[in-house]
Amino acid sequence: MADPVPAIDDFSSPHPAAATGTAWELVSDRVMGGVSGGTMVREAVAGRVALRMRGQVSLENNGGFLQMALDLAPDGKGIDATCWTGIALDVRGNGETYNMHLRTDDVERSWQSYRQSFEAGPEWLTVYLPFSGFLPHRLEAPLDLASLRRIGLVAIGRAFEADLAVAEVHFYD
């Protein structure tokens, strides 16, 4: 059994700071010429303090994503997550499917990641994403949990209105 760990983030720190000592950032496809746009704010959502991403995902100009991303260590190095089974999120949204993307030391390019989808419905729900369910995207290396560097909550792949709130993110065993 793994030692208990603090939440990756419980959203009790001032925005955009996280419990990890790092800060959440909003990234859109505009970094590569796309036109998707959105906002990321900390606010009360249905009685819970949450990080909320809203915006329009557009496929124009080869775009197609909005992302709330968090480095897991202040020095940019990976953390060892081998003692946990996965990551759990308390989420609420607009019924759309979203992704969690993981980055490790093996991820060298911005378009590479390990991905798993989840649905965020109109009520708060805890979603469990086992590490065994993450699939590599545009890379060959298997997921190396000894060097987990970054997580991203992503609206991606199709034109739609994104509205995703997360009230807690933590490892589970």
For the chain, the structural domain boundaries read: 25-172
d(CA 137, CA 55): 24
* CA nearest to 162, candidates 44, 29, 18: 29
Name the 3-class secondary structure at 32: helix
What is the identity of the amino acid at 2? A
Per-residue model confidence as pLDDT tens digits over 2-13: 444 558 999 999
Residue 43: beta bridge partners?
A: 50
How confident is the model at residue 63, as a pLDDT?
A: 87
Mean pLDDT, to the nearest integer, of 48-63?
95
Mean pLDDT, to the nearest integer, of 108-125?
96
Burial 105-140 (b: 16+ CB within 10 A, else e): ebbeeeebbbbbebebeeebeebebebeebebeebe
How confident is the model at residue 131, as a pLDDT?
A: 98
How confident is the model at residue 2, as a pLDDT?
A: 41
Mean pLDDT, to the nearest integer, of 108-127?
96
How much of the chain exceeds pLDDT 90, in percent? Answer: 87
Homologous superfamily assigned to 25-172: Galactose-binding lectin (2.60.120.430)
Predicted TM-score (pTM) of this structure? 0.94
Instruction: Find where tokens 């992704």 sit.
Output: 99
Cis peptide before 16 (omega within 30 of 0): yes
Name the 3-class secondary structure at 21: coil
Within 8 A by CB and 6+ apart from 139, the residues are: 106, 107, 108, 112
Mean pLDDT, to the nearest integer, of 113-117?
98
* CA nearest to 52, candidates 17, 91, 20: 91
Name the 3-class secondary structure at 152: strand
